[in-house]
Amino acid sequence: MHIGLIGLGKMGFNMRQRLRNNGVDVTGYDPNPDVTDAASMDQLLAIVPAPRIIWVMVPAGSATDAVLTELSRKLEPGDLVIDGGNSRFTEDQKHGELLAARGIRFADCGVSGGVWGLENGYGLMVGGEAEDIERALPVFDALRPEGERADSFVHVGGIGAGHYSKMVHNGIEYGLMQAYAEGYQLLEAKDIITDLPGTFRAWQKGTVVRSWLLDLLVKALEEDPGLRTIDDYVEDSGEGRWTVEEAIANAIPAPVITAAVFARFSSREDSSSAMKMVSALRHQFGGHASRPAA
């Protein structure tokens, strides 16, 4: 199998390598000449054999709109486009209709794994028609972790379902990080706690709160005890807000996720060691930039 991959940033660059490591030929295109395989999108489309599979891994919003619009003009009927970025699920319907009008297939894929995906593999949530998902299955299998497919891959439903499930996944992630961070602040504030990093490390095996996020929390503290180099300003990248908006639209109570989103807003006003930990965790799993301490 030979696919095209548009967007070779933090995620796309590692995904290209993991695909190659697992036997999938990849031609990548990115405006950055230091990482691109093709000099232009036209060259990429000329290299990838038809019927093509083109994976798009660019920032959600206007960047994705621009790439898919260009692809709609240049691809051929029967080609398949997979949007693996963090697009809002409502945009998937528009993109699917744009491409379908020209006989081009479309699927959306929520991708989780951050900067660790090259080594560990990616969790994948896909929306689209069954025949398109089946056609791209070797690509999904190359990206996901080894083992039972159902443990890291799901065809969630029709177009938009992949990004919807990834949105909810990220909303849950907000809540989990906030809980760990608040626990960190409580422990840090108590003078009878003399080994704060060791406390979290002791939770990594055998406890009900063990998780990969906890492992990353311990790693963050090992790299920067006290989180002295990190500011407590925490960005929100959209999915948390969208999850809260969906909860309101469907009258589903989501107090934990909502509070976690609001906590990020408060981080921009007050100094908080809990929000330093949220910032550190975002950097650990996703490579998201953290502000240096003033």
Q: Which of 97, 146, 166, 235 is catalytic?
A: 166
Q: Where are the alpha helices (DSSP H) in the chain?
A: 10-21, 41-47, 62-74, 89-100, 117-120, 130-135, 137-143, 161-189, 196-201, 212-223, 239-249, 255-266, 273-286
Q: How far apart are CA 49 and CA 126, in angstroms?
A: 23
Short-list 240, 222, 218, 220, CA closest to 290: 220
173 is catalytic: yes
Q: Which of 173, 182, 239, 276 is catalytic?
A: 173
To 5 degrees, how large is the angle CA 40–CA 45–CA 51?
Answer: 170
- Asked whether 50 and 82 are in contact (CB, 8 A), the reply is no
- Asked whether 8 and 36 are in contact (CB, 8 A), the reply is yes
Judged by DSSP in three states, 191 sits in coil
Amino acid at 157: G
Q: Burial level of 36, CB count in 10 A (0-12/13-18/19+)?
A: middle
* Integer angstrom CA distances of residue 147 from 120, 141, 151: 12, 10, 8
Short-list 285, 6, 12, CA closest to 170: 285
Residue 49 half-sphere exposure toward CB, CA atoms < 13 A? 3
Judged by DSSP in three states, 105 sits in strand
Judged by DSSP in three states, 116 sits in helix
Catalytic residue numbers read 166, 173
